[in-house]
């Protein structure tokens, strides 16, 4: 659909489909934090179908698996090694991997180029060079590695096993994990996530290239702290943005952020390119927080692109209506006056003797929210309206608000598919826990029905503004 030819099997396909994994640095001392053990547990929990070989000096057993004292003691072949040993021992490990015919080494191990001491960078270079000479590809060091639910490759226990269409290249492992968990509440799932840390060998360019060619990935998202080769990076980004929606969150835009990035992944934050204008020019969407990454993924996943930025705003409450309209305007949308025929239709729906607030924004009134579906239909029939935002807050009234919200959600889900214009819901949680729970339930039901749901009118409008820009730029560049 997006006009780029993709190769049947991308170059680094094998990284995501190991038949056997050895986790090196598995301790059987359960009184201590054990990242090696954590990886074994994550692979078991994610249903990895290949062989899992824990490796650790102590031997023994973890999770009913035999712990091998060394890589060479493993009877079968090993495709993929996860390193959770101290940095100083990694050159030896890479040599062992070469001897064993290992194709990929993921270095969870930290203490390389990201540390202040110069020997860190030296060790990183040594390990990378050893790997290169043996034809081994390195992921990391200092990263969580690959998440690929299709093959049961995971870096954290109890991440969802369901696969989706979003690819995420995330220099930070923490952001990757947060993204998976948040996305789950939005009924969004990932095809592949790569946390690649210091990028001593494979880097953001390799992984972006991979996702560009990966048929299972429909939307590419990226959290990037820095890059090595500006020209190559630009070309990769350009190709990715041409092939698929590409959402980029650049970390390290401030002095403190750059300092943190260099301590985090040793990244040089690349002030040599002007990110904003470059990303705009190639048609990528730039965002400024992890929430905004997911907000864009929500739209690319759920919403038919609106033709323009004219929004019909529907919600409950006079004050809320004012605020919703102001927020839309601040974020770049317009809320045109509804035509008089539509206003008359709304007046008829509400049997309004009071004139009513039907000019846009439209106030549904608390007592008459059961007319939500008819209201949405009427506003959608306005020729000047490109899309609709329905805003609602659960917890406004203390009495039967949760039941009302359920009813409201039912009415909205009832019209899904029937209304021809894109409809977005802003669902504002607040107050005591019972309303927060009710909001979570409502959110789940709305996503299930196919509505994109946002935390606030402002965040919805911000994402929609970028979304429409994205499609308008694509259209112009054709």
Beta strands in 38-189 (DSSP E): 51-55, 61-62, 65-66, 80-83, 104-107, 137-139, 145-147, 166-170
CA distances from 158 to 43, 190, 192, 376, 465 (A): 10, 14, 16, 39, 35
**DSSP-assigned letters across all residues of 256-268:** HHHHHHHHHH---
Using N-to-C axis directions, what is the helix angle for 173-185 and 433-449, rounded to 10°? 80
Give the tokens for residue 278: 């470059």
Of 54, 244, 268, which is closest to residue 166 (Cα–Cα)? 244
Nearer to its own copies, 76 or 318 (CB): 318
CA distances from 215 to 17, 193, 208 (A): 15, 15, 13
Of 476, 31, 74, 23, which is closest to residue 280 (Cα–Cα)? 476
Of 454, 453, 438, which is closest to residue 398 (Cα–Cα)? 438
Nearer to its own copies, 323 or 445 (CB): 323
Query: What is the CB neighbour count within 10 angstroms for residue 469?
Result: 15
C-beta separation of 100 from 72 below 8 A: yes
Nearer to its own copies, 114 or 213 (CB): 114
To which residue do tokens 């001491």 refer?
117
Look at residue 66 and give its three-state secondary structure: strand
Nearer to its own copies, 54 or 226 (CB): 226
Nearer to its own copies, 101 or 366 (CB): 366
Question: Min. distance of Cβ 138 from its own copies in angstroms?
Answer: 19
Question: Min. distance of Cβ 216 from its own copies in angstroms?
Answer: 24
Question: Min. distance of Cβ 198 from its own copies in angstroms?
Answer: 11
Question: Min. distance of Cβ 43 from its own copies in angstroms?
Answer: 15
Question: Min. distance of Cβ 265 from its own copies in angstroms?
Answer: 7
Question: Min. distance of Cβ 31 from its own copies in angstroms?
Answer: 14
Give the tokens for residue 158: 């109890």
Question: Min. distance of Cβ 457 from its own copies in angstroms?
Answer: 10
Nearer to its own copies, 47 or 398 (CB): 398
Nearer to its own copies, 217 or 320 (CB): 320
């Amino acid at each position: 659909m997006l006009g780029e030819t993709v190769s049947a099997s991308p170059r680094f396909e094998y990284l995501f489909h190991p038949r056997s994994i050895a986790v090196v640095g598995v301790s059987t001392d359960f009184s201590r934090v054990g990242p090696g053990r954590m990886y074994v547990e994550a692979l078991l929990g994610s249903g990895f179908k290949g062989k899992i070989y824990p490796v650790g000096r102590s031997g023994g057993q973890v999770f009913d698996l035999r712990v091998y004292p060394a890589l060479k003691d493993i009877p079968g072949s090993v495709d993929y090694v996860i390193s959770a040993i101290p940095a100083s021992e990694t050159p030896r490990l890479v040599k062992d991997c070469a001897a064993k015919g290992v194709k990929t080494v993921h270095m969870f191990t930290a203490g390389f180029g990201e540390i202040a001491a110069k020997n860190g960078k030296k060790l990183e270079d040594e390990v990378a060079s050893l790997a290169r000479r043996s034809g081994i590809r390195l992921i990391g060091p200092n990263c969580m590695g690959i998440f690929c639910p299709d093959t049961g490759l995971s870096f954290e226990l109890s991440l969802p096993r369901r696969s989706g269409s979003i690819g995420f290249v995330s220099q930070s492992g923490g952001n990757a994990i947060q993204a998976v968990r948040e996305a789950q509440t939005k009924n969004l799932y990932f095809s592949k996530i790569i946390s690649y840390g210091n990028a001593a060998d494979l880097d953001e360019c390799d992984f972006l290239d991979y996702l560009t060619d990966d048929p299972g990935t429909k939307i590419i998202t990226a959290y990037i702290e820095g890059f090595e080769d500006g020209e190559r990076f630009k070309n990769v980004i350009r190709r990715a943005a041409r092939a698929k929606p590409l959402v980029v969150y650049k970390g390290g835009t401030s002095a403190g952020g750059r300092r943190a990035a260099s301590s985090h992944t040793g990244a040089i934050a690349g002030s040599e390119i002007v990110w904003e204008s470059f990303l705009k020019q190639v048609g990528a969407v730039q965002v400024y927080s992890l929430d905004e990454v997911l907000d864009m993924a929500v739209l690319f996943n759920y919403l038919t692109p609106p033709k323009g930025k004219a929004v019909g705003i529907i919600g409950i409450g006079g004050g809320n209506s004012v605020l919703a309209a102001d927020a839309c305007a601040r974020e770049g949308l317009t809320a045109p006056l509804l035509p008089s025929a539509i206003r008359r239709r709304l007046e008829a729906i509400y049997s309004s003797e009071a004139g009513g607030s039907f000019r846009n924004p439209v106030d549904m009134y608390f007592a008459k929210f059961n007319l939500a579906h008819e209201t949405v239909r009427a506003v959608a029939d306005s020729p000047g309206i490109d899309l609709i935002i329905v805003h609602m807050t659960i917890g406004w009234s203390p009495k039967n608000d949760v039941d009302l919200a359920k009813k409201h959600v039912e009415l909205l889900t009832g019209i899904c598919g029937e209304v021809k214009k894109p409809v977005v819901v802003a669902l504002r949680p607040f107050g005591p826990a019972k309303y927060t729970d009710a909001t979570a339930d409502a959110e789940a039901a709305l996503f299930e029905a196919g509505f994109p749901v946002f935390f606030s009118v402002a965040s919805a409008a911000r994402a929609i503004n970028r979304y429409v820009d994205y499609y308008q730029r694509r259209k112009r560049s054709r």
